């Protein structure tokens, strides 16, 4: 590990800048095939080009000059990966496959540039105001293309869009959370004070909680304040950058990382809290690796990496969770978000929180840490495979007889919501923090 | 390159989506899990979904003199699945249905692409297990492990794959499909075909269905670890356990080099001055018997100056297993290439073989650690080397030659569980002699005279 790090720092370059740097990761792979047991894409496709060890073999062929990086087949293989890191948890020689995948994608972008559509979207991310306007316009216009369910929380594509959107998964069956007209960061004050605060923390909302699930974000803030913690939600914060990073746009994500670091430095808070495995993983790992060659921001990234916690870890390991007393008479199962479990190593904490809620019956599903098939935009680009993966997850959820499925990541919530619906399930999909918030609220009304 | 009309015919036979010809797909099937082997891309990968499709593919291949390389999960360790002469890789990953689980007869009927762990998951609700447990149970297929006659950690007590295959359906090189064996415990009808095709490494026929034997899952187990200051003590302990008439389910050994490397890798508190470590697990259906066996084992370990650790809980058992589980990963972390052998000796020669392996490593100035299944004499001398260092690779080849020579001298065999494939073909004569090689060739040529099935493996190709 130390060796890999020294390589990263060579000439201020990281594997994001030079594909040759991942040779060391490639060399670790024995081609034993243990990744086949857990790779969700291989599990669905059943062809070996889908699985990690073959992607490594192809990467070797690219580095050896036998295959071209921009060969359409190499391109397709490269993007047929959820970057869920499941293979890494089952790898006997600890190959950091995420580095290989990101290095390949970054190298491709260096060679051919970004496709224009991605370029357009990603460049708006660097300008939060522009991106924010886009999301609001989207929220206002979504009624044209999507129909809304009764509560206004979910949308499905309307007929003509369902037809053209079919191959992307936007068929008439698809259910997604509605874009909220008022994002989270506009709903709450920049500093949420609480009487007798014992500590102050900064909340990195990420885009999903900000635009798609603002109520979940509000629940998270409510739980923190119920634990006597002052919450800072800086309005200047950006996207974490992971959606951009996985498409190889290294410069955009470095810009986002530096801006986010400045923004959170300015809060003066001791801890950074996330409610999304991908965002938390970015702060804990990706920023450090991306900025390893940056003498100013590298150390700052390392500073925040040690102070970033998922809300569940923070509540159970850093502070002592205020015992919830409001009864929730529900049977709840829990899906391990890949980035939460495999990147942030958070698995026991959300379960502890759920089990601490009175009245709540916790039922573990089979393979709770099997990927749900979301992978951010993977579900859009590889809808069929993502659905096969999602169907299995929906079946495992169904077998628990739980009425609620909880998770710790908004991207998983979207995918679970869609797949539970497609499987004809009635389970409510929620972030575990919302159940805790509900219990706290109930104890007020109970008394 | 194959004639495009062949690809079209294959597409008609199995459907376009089950015929892969893209560059990336071909790279994905150009290797297996064996280190230090040439890679070769096939001309085409075909994923059949029925035995009838396999028959048609075999007939097409034979008419056109195209090699067929059957493949399960491609996890074998002797180059058995590498498409050396290009042609067709026949991947069974889509024939993965469990056809029947029959608790009354203690059998299961499976398609060849069923993963071993998936079979065990399916029979667990009946309180049954399929015992063969190669290190790759979570990925390896029933067809592949039958073709390779895989072993595993429980070989001493429960046997290996060949002890659990009761019947088969096989497509022969002439395109005919033959079924033999079945659900009966006793069956002496005709030749013992199951034992011919198990371990035939895809060179005699293509397995399209298997009937597997199941056994009741043992209800009780006890796990122990003994750490020894000398190899002789460890060897005597192995002999002592057997002499005490205990047959452990697991009796694993690790040498000093492996112990040190595991400790550096995983920091689990192993004494790095130890010469050998034994991991022992006894199991059974009766608590009393298992306890008595465990006590006998503990006594033997103590009598041979072993430092004893026992597990009382599942968590403690897991801790004891950590050392063994980390053996290969830890050794593999030392360099970019892992040459993993499986030379096997009679149990009584385990100590001699461990000493010999260490000496061979020193002689050729190589990093070599040995661990393995002491109970059945199946050792894994493992050499860690740099594939880009030609001089070192040359010394590795010499060391491997000498390891096999030594195993044979001790009355052992070339392969305990990995198979011959490409990796060990050149040593076959040393064990079998010319008459043995002739027998191999006459069996091969009577079933596959044109060398269509997995050519270049087990039986050398005839030079034209």
Q: What is the pLDDT of residues A300-314, one digit of tens each?
A: 999 999 999 999 999
Residue among B93, B137, B95 at smallest CA distance from A37: B137
At B463, the pLDDT band (50, 70, 90 cuts) reads confident
Domains held by chain B: number: 3
**Among candidate residues B91, B116, B136, the one where a domain is terminated:** B91
Do B118 and B191 sit in the same domain of this protein? Answer: yes
The answer to whether the CB atoms of A30 and B23 lie below 8 A apart is no
How much is the average pLDDT of A215-244?
95
* Nearest CA-CA distance, residue B348 and chain A, Å: 31
Do A269 and A244 sit in the same domain of this protein? Answer: yes
Residue among A254, A230, A224, A228 at smallest CA distance from A241: A254
* Nearest CA-CA distance, residue B25 and chain A, Å: 5
Do B74 and B112 sit in the same domain of this protein? Answer: no
Do B200 and B293 sit in the same domain of this protein? Answer: no
Q: Are strands B205-213 and B165-172 parallel, antiparallel or unpaired?
A: antiparallel
Count the residues in chain A. 447
Percentage, residues of chain A above pLDDT 90: 71
Amino acid A174: pLDDT: 66
Asked if A69 is an interface residue toward chain B (Cβ–Cβ < 8 A), one would say no
Per-residue model confidence as pLDDT tens digits over B272-314 = 899 999 999 999 999 999 999 999 999 999 999 999 999 989 9
Do A46 and A131 sit in the same domain of this protein? Answer: no
Q: Is residue B151 part of a domain?
A: yes
At A6, the pLDDT band (50, 70, 90 cuts) reads very low
Compare A444 and B173 and report the one with higher pLDDT.
B173
Q: Are B324 and B280 in contact (CB under 8 A)?
A: no
- Which one-letter DSSP state was computed for residue A176? E
Domains held by chain A: number: 4
Amino acid A112: pLDDT: 85
- pTM, two decimal places: 0.90
How much is the average pLDDT of B121-132?
97
The answer to whether the CB atoms of B338 and A30 lie below 8 A apart is yes
Count the residues in chain B. 464
**Among candidate residues A128, A159, A177, the one where a domain is terminated:** A177
At A165, the pLDDT band (50, 70, 90 cuts) reads low
CATH code of the domain covering residue A82: 1.10.1060.10
Compare A84 and A180 and report the one with higher pLDDT.
A84
Amino acid A166: pLDDT: 52
Q: Report chain B residues whose CB lies below 8 A from the CB of A46.
A: 47, 93-94, 96
d(CA B370, CA B339): 11
The DSSP result for B29-73, as a single string, is TS--S-SS------SEEE---SHHHHHHHHHHHHHTT--EEEESS
d(CA B148, CA B169): 16
Q: Say how far residue B317 (Cα) sits from the centre of its chain.
A: 25
Do B37 and B85 sit in the same domain of this protein? Answer: yes
Amino acid A132: pLDDT: 73
Domain limits at A48? 2-112
- A150 pLDDT above the threshold of 50: no
CATH code of the domain covering residue B49: 3.30.43.10
Percentage, residues of chain A above pLDDT 70: 85
Structure tokens at B125: 């609700």
Amino acid A87: pLDDT: 95
**Among candidate residues A144, A160, A177, the one where a domain is terminated:** A177
d(CA B124, CA B137): 15
- B144 pLDDT above the threshold of 70: yes
The answer to whether the CB atoms of A30 and B139 lie below 8 A apart is no
* Nearest CA-CA distance, residue B333 and chain A, Å: 6
Compare B78 and A382 and report the one with higher pLDDT.
B78
Amino acid A356: pLDDT: 97
Do B108 and B211 sit in the same domain of this protein? Answer: yes
* Nearest CA-CA distance, residue A53 and chain B, Å: 8
Q: Return the residue in B23, B120, B335 with the most chain A beta carbons within 10 A, the one to mutate for interface testing.
A: B23
Per-residue model confidence as pLDDT tens digits over B387-416 = 999 999 999 999 999 999 999 999 999 999
The answer to whether the CB atoms of A37 and B139 lie below 8 A apart is yes
Residue among B197, B237, B207 at smallest CA distance from B54: B207
Choose the closest CB to B24 out of A33, A73, A92: A73
Q: Given 3-state DSSP classes, what are the helix, strand and coil percentages for chain A, each rounded to the nearest 5?
A: 55, 10, 35
Choose the closest CB to A46 out of B94, B136, B333: B94
**Among candidate residues A177, A211, A229, the one where a domain is terminated:** A177
- Which one-letter DSSP state was computed for residue B453? B
Choose the closest CB to A36 out of B91, B96, B139: B139
Q: Return the residue in B19, B22, B26, B28 with the most chain A beta carbons within 10 A, the one to mutate for interface testing.
A: B28
Asked if A57 is an interface residue toward chain B (Cβ–Cβ < 8 A), one would say yes
Do B236 and B153 sit in the same domain of this protein? Answer: no
Do B44 and B141 sit in the same domain of this protein? Answer: no
ipTM value of the model? 0.93
CATH code of the domain covering residue A212: 3.40.50
Domain limits at B82? 4-91
Q: Return the residue in B17, B21, B23, B24 with the most chain A beta carbons within 10 A, the one to mutate for interface testing.
A: B24
- A129 pLDDT above the threshold of 50: yes
Per-residue model confidence as pLDDT tens digits over A29-73 = 999 999 999 999 999 999 999 999 999 999 999 999 999 998 999
Closest CA in chain B for residue A48 = B28
The mean pLDDT value of chain B amounts to 95
Q: Is residue A382 part of a domain?
A: yes
Do A151 and A228 sit in the same domain of this protein? Answer: no
Amino acid B80: pLDDT: 96
Do A33 and A86 sit in the same domain of this protein? Answer: yes
Do A23 and A71 sit in the same domain of this protein? Answer: yes
Q: Given 3-state DSSP classes, what are the helix, strand and coil percentages for chain B, each rounded to the nearest 5?
A: 40, 20, 40
Choose the closest CB to B23 out of A71, A92, A93: A71
Q: Report chain A residues whose CB lies below 8 A from the CB of B39.
A: 57
Q: Are A283 and A304 in contact (CB under 8 A)?
A: yes
Per-residue model confidence as pLDDT tens digits over B44-87 = 999 999 999 999 999 999 999 999 999 999 999 999 999 999 99
Do A98 and A129 sit in the same domain of this protein? Answer: no
d(CA A388, CA A419): 10
Q: Are B345 and B410 in contact (CB under 8 A)?
A: yes
Do B300 and B227 sit in the same domain of this protein? Answer: yes
How much is the average pLDDT of B27-53?
96
Per-residue model confidence as pLDDT tens digits over B341-353 = 999 999 999 999 9
d(CA B224, CA B281): 6
- A121 pLDDT above the threshold of 80: no
Q: Is residue B399 part of a domain?
A: no
The answer to whether the CB atoms of A49 and B139 lie below 8 A apart is no
The answer to whether the CB atoms of B329 and A48 lie below 8 A apart is no
* Nearest CA-CA distance, residue B273 and chain A, Å: 25
The answer to whether the CB atoms of A92 and B328 lie below 8 A apart is yes
At CA B93, angle to CA B91 and CA B97, rounded to 5? Answer: 135
The answer to whether the CB atoms of B333 and A93 lie below 8 A apart is yes
Q: Is residue A323 part of a domain?
A: no
**Sign of the Cα pseudo-torsion (A388, A392, A393, A397, in order):** positive
Asked if A197 is an interface residue toward chain B (Cβ–Cβ < 8 A), one would say no
HSE-up (13 A, CA, CB side) for residue A192: 25
Which of A169-182 are b and which e, b meaning 16 or more Cβ less than 10 Å from the residue's Cβ? bbbeebbbbbbbee
Q: Are strands B378-385 and B337-340 parallel, antiparallel or unpaired?
A: antiparallel
Say if residue B147 is exposed, middle or buried (CB neighbours under 10 Å; 0-12, 13-18, 19+): buried
The answer to whether the CB atoms of B27 and A46 lie below 8 A apart is no
Asked if A113 is an interface residue toward chain B (Cβ–Cβ < 8 A), one would say no
The answer to whether the CB atoms of A54 and B28 lie below 8 A apart is yes
Under DSSP, is residue B121 helix (H, G, I), strand (E, B) or coil? helix
The mean pLDDT value of chain A amounts to 88
The answer to whether the CB atoms of B33 and A67 lie below 8 A apart is no
Amino acid A2: pLDDT: 41
Do B198 and B224 sit in the same domain of this protein? Answer: no
Q: Are A376 and A409 in contact (CB under 8 A)?
A: no
Q: Checking phi first, is residue B324 left (phi over 0); if not, alpha (psi -120 to 50) or beta?
A: alpha
The answer to whether the CB atoms of A48 and B338 lie below 8 A apart is no
- A146 pLDDT above the threshold of 90: no
Q: Is residue A324 part of a domain?
A: no
Q: Where is average pLDDT lowest: B184-193, B317-326, B360-369, B379-388? A: B317-326
- A340 pLDDT above the threshold of 50: yes
The answer to whether the CB atoms of A48 and B94 lie below 8 A apart is no
**Among candidate residues B75, B91, B107, the one where a domain is terminated:** B91
- A145 pLDDT above the threshold of 60: no
CATH code of the domain covering residue B253: 3.30.70.2190
Amino acid A9: pLDDT: 47
CATH code of the domain covering residue B143: 3.30.465.10
């Amino acid at each position: 590990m130390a060796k890999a790090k020294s390589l990263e720092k060579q000439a201020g370059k990281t594997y994001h800048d030079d594909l040759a740097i991942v040779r060391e990761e490639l060399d670790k792979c024995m081609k034993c095939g243990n990744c086949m047991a857990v790779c969700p894409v291989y599990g669905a496709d059943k062809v070996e080009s889908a699985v990690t060890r073959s992607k490594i073999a192809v990467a070797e062929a690219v580095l050896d000059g036998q295959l071209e990086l921009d060969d359409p087949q190499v391109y397709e293989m490269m993007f047929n990966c959820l970057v869920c890191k499941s293979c890494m948890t089952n790898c006997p020689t600890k190959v950091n496959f995420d580095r290989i995948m990101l290095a390949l994608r970054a190298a491709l972008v260096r060679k051919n540039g970004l496709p224009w559509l991605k370029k357009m979207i990603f460049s708006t991310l660097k300008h939060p105001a522009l991106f924010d306007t886009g999301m609001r316009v989207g929220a206002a216009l979504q009624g044209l293309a999507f129909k809304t369910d009764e509560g206004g929380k979910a949308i499905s594509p309307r007929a003509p869009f369902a037809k053209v959107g079919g191959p992307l998964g936007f068929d008439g069956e698809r259910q997604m959370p509605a874009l909220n007209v008022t994002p989270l960061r506009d709903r709450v004050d920049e500093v949420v004070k609480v009487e007798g605060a014992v500590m102050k923390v900064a909340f990195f909302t990420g885009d999903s909680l900000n635009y798609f699930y603002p109520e979940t974000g509000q629940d998270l803030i409510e739980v923190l304040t119920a634990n006597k913690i002052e919450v800072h939600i800086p309005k200047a914060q950006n996207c974490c950058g992971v959606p951009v990073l996985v498409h190889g746009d290294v410069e955009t994500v470095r810009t986002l990382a530096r801006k986010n670091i400045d923004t959170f430095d300015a809060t003066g808070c001791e801890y950074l809290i996330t409610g999304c495995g991908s965002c938390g993983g970015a702060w804990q790992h990706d920023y450090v690796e991306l900025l390893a060659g940056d003498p100013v921001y590298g150390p700052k990234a390392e500073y925040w990496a040690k102070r970033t916690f998922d809300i569940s870890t923070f509540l159970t390991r850093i502070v002592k969770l205020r015992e919830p007393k409001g009864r929730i008479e529900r049977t709840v199962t829990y899906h391990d978000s890949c980035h939460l479990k495999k990147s942030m190593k958070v698995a026991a904490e959300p379960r502890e929180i759920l089990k601490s809620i009175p009245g709540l019956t916790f039922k573990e599903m089979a393979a709770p840490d099997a990927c749900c098939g979301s992978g951010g935009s993977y579900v859009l680009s590889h809808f069929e495979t993502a659905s096969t993966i999602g169907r299995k997850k929906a079946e495992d959820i169904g077998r628990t007889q739980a009425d609620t499925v909880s998770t710790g990541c908004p991207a998983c919530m979207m995918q679970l919501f869609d797949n539970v619906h497609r499987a004809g399930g009635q389970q409510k999909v929620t972030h575990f923090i919302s159940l805790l918030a509900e219990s706290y609220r109930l104890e007020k009304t109970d008394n | 390159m194959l004639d495009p009309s062949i690809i079209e015919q294959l597409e008609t036979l199995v459907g376009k989506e089950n015929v892969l010809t893209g560059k990336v797909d071909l790279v994905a099937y150009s290797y297996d899990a064996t280190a230090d082997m040439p890679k070769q891309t096939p001309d085409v990968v075909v994923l059949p979904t029925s035995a009838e499709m396999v028959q048609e593919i075999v007939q097409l291949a034979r008419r056109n003199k195209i090699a067929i390389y059957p493949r399960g999960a491609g996890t074998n360790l002797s180059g058995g699945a590498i498409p050396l002469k290009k042609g067709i890789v026949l991947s069974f990953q889509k024939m993965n249905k469990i056809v029947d689980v029959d608790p009354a007869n203690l059998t299961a009927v499976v398609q060849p692409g069923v993963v071993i762990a998936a079979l065990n998951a399916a029979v667990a609700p009946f309180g049954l297990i399929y015992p063969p447990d190669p290190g790759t149970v979570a990925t390896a297929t029933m067809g592949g492990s039958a073709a390779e006659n895989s072993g595993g950690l429980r070989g001493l007590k429960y046997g290996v794959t060949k002890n659990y295959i009761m019947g088969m359906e096989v497509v022969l090189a002439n395109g005919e499909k033959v079924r033999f064996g079945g659900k009966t415990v006793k069956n002496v009808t005709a030749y013992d075909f199951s034992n011919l095709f198990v371990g035939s490494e895809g060179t005699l026929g293509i397995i399209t269905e298997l009937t597997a034997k199941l056994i009741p899952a043992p209800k009780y187990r006890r796990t122990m670890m003994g750490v020894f200051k000398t190899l002789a003590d460890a060897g005597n302990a192995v002999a002592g356990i057997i002499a005490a008439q205990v047959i452990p389910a697991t009796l694993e050994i690790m040498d000093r080099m492996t112990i040190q490397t595991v400790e550096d890798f995983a920091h689990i508190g192993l004494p790095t001055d130890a010469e050998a470590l034994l991991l022992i697990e006894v199991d059974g259906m009766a608590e009393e018997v298992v306890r008595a066996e465990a006590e006998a084992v503990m006594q033997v370990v103590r009598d041979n100056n072993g430092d004893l650790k026992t597990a009382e809980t599942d968590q403690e058992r897991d801790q004891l297993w950590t050392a063994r589980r980390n053996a290969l990963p830890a050794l593999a972390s030392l360099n970019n290439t892992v040459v993993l052998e499986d030379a096997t000796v009679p149990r009584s020669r385990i100590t001699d073989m461990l000493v010999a392996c260490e000496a061979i490593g020193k002689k050729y100035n190589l990093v070599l650690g040995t661990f393995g299944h002491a109970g059945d004499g199946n050792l894994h001398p493992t050499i860690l080397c740099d594939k880009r260092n030609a001089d070192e690779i040359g010394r590795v080849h010499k060391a491997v030659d000498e390891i096999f020579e030594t195993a044979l001298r001790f009355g052992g065999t070339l392969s305990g569980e990995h198979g011959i494939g490409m990796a060990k073909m050149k040593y076959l004569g040393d064990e079998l002699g010319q008459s043995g090689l002739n027998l191999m060739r006459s069996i091969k040529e009577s079933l596959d005279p044109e060398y269509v099935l997995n050519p270049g493996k087990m039986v050398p190709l005839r030079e034209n």
